[in-house]
Amino acid sequence: MLIVDLPPYGEPSKAGQNYYEPIILTSNMDMIRIKYLSVGPRAEHEQVIQLISDHCDGSYIETSRVELHGWTTVEAACK
């Protein structure tokens, strides 16, 4: 399991990474889990849906969605 420590909402990384971009936490042929900023003008709902759809060839079921402090982690199982 990959654990990613993200800065608070709106605070850029000291390492220079763009934490506004969705982060793929884990994936395999059957599933994908993505964490993304889900509030404010930089919310990436559409980009995450596209990433999931591309990964699963357009056919998937969302199995989990957790929202916490402006971030959402979504997991989807490919059909």
Inside any domain, residue 50: yes
Inside any domain, residue 14: no
Inside any domain, residue 7: no
Alpha-carbon radius of gyration of the chain: 13
State how far the Cα of 37 lies from the Cα of 10, in Å rounded to an integer: 9
Residue 40: the pLDDT is 86
Residue 41: the pLDDT is 84
Q: What is the pLDDT of residues 15-69, one digit of tens each?
A: 445 567 899 999 999 999 999 999 888 888 999 999 999 999 999 999 999 999 9
Residue 19: the pLDDT is 64
Q: Residue 63 sits in which domain range?
A: 23-78
Inside any domain, residue 18: no
State how far the Cα of 77 lies from the Cα of 71, in Å rounded to an integer: 20
Q: Whose structure tokens read 């599933």?
A: 31
Inside any domain, residue 13: no
Task: Report pTM.
Answer: 0.74
Q: What is the pLDDT of residues 54-78, one digit of tens each?
A: 999 999 999 999 999 999 999 999 9
Number of domains in the chain: 1
Q: What is the CATH number of the domain that holds 42?
A: 3.30.1660
Sorted by sequence, the CB contacts under 8 Å of residue 37 that are 6+ apart come out as: 9, 19, 20, 43, 44, 70, 71
